[in-house]
Amino acid sequence: MDFISFENETLRWVATQPQAEKVKEKWEENPRLSWGNKVFLETTCIEWLQKYLSYQQEALKKTELYVSLSKMNLKTALEPVLCFLTEPPLVKVSRRIQYNGMETLVCRVYGFYPKEMDATWRKDGEVWEQDTFRGGVLPNSDRTYHAWLSIEVDPKERDLYRCYVVHAGVPEPLSVAWKEPGEKKGLGVALLASTLPPMSWLPSGWRQTLPGTAFDYFALPQFPPQPMEPHSHSLSAVRLPPWIQTRTGA
């Protein structure tokens, strides 16, 4: 049921509810408002409708063109261009142990573009939505996107689960399982040796080779202990190492 209506022929407002009488009196106090409504209904509104209908016709033409191109199977011809504009996703699966003995597998998908991406957990090849939690697809600072999804599993069935990712940036879907992290040995020594300057300028007694490697490391020369004469506080009584040269006023 209408509350109030406008007659553009008589420029009068018609109150169809008792509560609309006050509104009718207020709006009819200003004749310019009534003339503005008449112009809008008879001219402006019609022009806008025609304009937006033309936009709809253009959108329909584009849709028809897209459908016709799809029927021509141009997807294969455009694959090199699409691959150039995409960024393939990186997938990593981590594990968390819960207090009740169950485990949570977390699949992180990041660095992909465009935004459209489908990620699911699969148990023994079958999509497994039960006990699956998802995070939204969020943007990174470099125009790429990231997302995550987790699932609660029995440790005995952990090896049956795979994170299955479908994206335009990879020709085939990615299937990633959790793997036991391997031990990394010798990395710290190699990084340290690569950051130190060459030691060829050091005296030969100060350079030693790390056993089992080709890396040199710094070592102070070893000198035998020199005894001091008892009950003497004279500087000449102190036996200094030979690598320290002292000058006396003799």
Between CA 250 and CA 248 the distance in angstroms is 6
Give strand pairing partners of 217: 208
- Whether the CB-CB separation of 122 and 99 falls below 8 Å is answered with no
Between CA 186 and CA 211 the distance in angstroms is 13
Kindly give the confidence (pLDDT) of every residue in the chain, 250 residues in length, as a single tens digit, with 9 standing for 90 and above.
678 888 888 888 888 888 888 888 888 888 888 888 888 888 888 888 888 888 777 777 767 766 665 666 555 555 555 555 789 999 999 999 988 889 999 999 999 999 999 999 999 999 998 889 999 899 998 889 999 999 999 999 999 999 999 999 899 999 999 998 774 443 333 333 333 444 444 444 444 444 444 444 444 444 455 555 444 444 444 555 555 554 544 4
Structure tokens at 195: 């950051």
Between CA 117 and CA 109 the distance in angstroms is 9
